[in-house]
Homo-oligomer: A and B are copies of this chain.
Amino acid sequence: MADAAARPAAFVPADPNFEARVRDSFARQPFMEIMGAALGAISPGRVEVVLPFDAKVTQQHGFFHGGAMGAIADVAGGYAAFSLFPADATVLTVEYKINIMAPGKGERLVAAGEVLRSGRTLTVVRVDVHAEADGRRVHCATGTQTLIRLDGKSDGKA
């Protein structure tokens, strides 16, 4: 049975310059900078954010903080949506939900946002976070996110 929502073929970015636009916007997020987060792989409708382990992003047990995990998941999902937008549009998170499945232990967290539905107004993204260490990865969080596209608004600082 053909799947009308098959992902790979479905996503053609409205702006061929999408990767530069994602990198430029991410670089203007001070919160990501103080956390030490960086962009990973970027493709149309899929964006990764990588967070190396550092004491400053931990909680009281010495693991990655759940709030840090949620923050990079939110950002990865937001840019996954943004990567498909036209050049003159910006993105806002409407809501997100995340299940923490395992403690954030490891050398780095990798959050990946992957667009499931790209509509004119709303985008739905699946977000997954893996903790990596010693060549192994553990799926430590998963969730879904809804985002809204605002047309005619620069993503630049208001």
A positions within 8 Å CB-CB of B: 1-5, 25-26, 28-31, 33-34, 55-63, 65-68, 70-72, 74-75, 78, 90, 92-103, 116-117, 121-122, 124, 126, 130, 132, 135-139, 142-144, 146, 148, 155-158
Contact = CB atoms under 8 A, between A and B. Distances in A.
Main secondary structure of the interface of A (DSSP, over half): mixed
A69 B116 CA distance: 18
A96 to B, nearest CB: 6
Contact of A121 (B70, B75, B121): B121
Given A98-B95, A142-B144, A31 B5 contact: no
A2 B142 CA distance: 18
A65 B71 contact: yes
A62 B157 contact: yes
Contacts of A137: 1-5
Contacts of A5: 101-102, 137-139
A92 B97 contact: no
Contact of A135 (B2, B65, B98): B2
B1 A132 contact: yes
30 contacts: A2-B136, A2-B137, A4-B137, A4-B138, A5-B101, A5-B102, A5-B138, A26-B60, A28-B60, A29-B58, A29-B59, A31-B58, A31-B59, A31-B65, A61-B90, A63-B158, A67-B71, A67-B74, A67-B75, A68-B71, A94-B99, A94-B146, A95-B98, A95-B144, A97-B98, A101-B116, A116-B139, A124-B142, A142-B144, A143-B144
